[in-house]
Chain A
Amino acid sequence: KQEVTQIPAALSVPEGENLVLNCSFTDSAIYNLQWFRQDPGKGLTSLLLIQSSQREQTSGRLNASLDKSSGRSTLYIAASQPGDSATYLCAVRPGNYGQNFVFGPGTRLSVLP
């Protein structure tokens, strides 16, 4: 059974720092991995989707990497801003056709001005 963990559970950094959020999964047989952002009381916004054949994806100040063999993904946020404060969730889609995404518990990020 696929399991997803995220470390750390919470993170507080001063504005301007570069930071890394970690995601680990137990089964390397995946179709893809997706990072989401959730603001308090709001829905989930997709940040980046990495297909199993890809090593990384970039969008603006965000860069996500994928190492299937080790069961790890990282989300790198450059030059953090207070507006980046949110919970970040990682999810993997198992490699069996039509399977549901498995979500991690999330990392709660606070960027202090």
Chain B
Amino acid sequence: NAGVTQTPKFQVLKTGQSMTLQCAQDMNHEYMSWYRQDPGMGLRLIHYSVGAGITDQGEVPNGYNVSRSTTEDFPLRLLSAAPSQTSVYFCASSTLIGGYTFGSGTRLTVV
């Protein structure tokens, strides 16, 4: 049972490039979400989904796009990377009323 798997673990992008951060879970969880964590800012919610085909914005959605075509996968797309998107990104999943399981994170640097 792998839990929540995030890839890649590290990534360096140039300003303006696009990329997709992958998140997959094998627990049949309905709920999936993306957070970013910056020093002194805590965890901030980017986007979330309560089931396949359903997504919604969190606290800091600008510059990011998501889709949920399957229960297992919830990719996060950076449309045009900016230095302000340098951060550590975490994916989490749960049942709709259960506890979170987090992935190990993706450390992204935009230069």
Contact = CB atoms under 8 A, between A and B. Distances in A.
A108 B30 CA distance: 32
Contacts, number: 45
A12 to B, nearest CB: 20
A16 to B, nearest CB: 30
Interface string B28-65: 00110100000000110100101000000010000000
A44 B90 contact: yes
A106 B42 contact: yes
Interface in B58-111: 58, 90, 92, 96-105
A76 interface: no
A93 B98 CA distance: 9
B105 A49 contact: no
A44 B98 CA distance: 16
B87 to A, nearest CB: 13
Contacts of B103: 43
A105 interface: yes
Interface in A32-66: 32, 34, 36, 42-46, 49
A15 to B, nearest CB: 28
Contacts of A103: 42-43
A113 interface: no
Interface of B: 30-31, 33, 42-43, 45, 48, 50, 58, 90, 92, 96-105
Interface of A: 31-32, 34, 36, 42-46, 49, 89, 91, 93, 97-98, 100-101, 103, 105-106
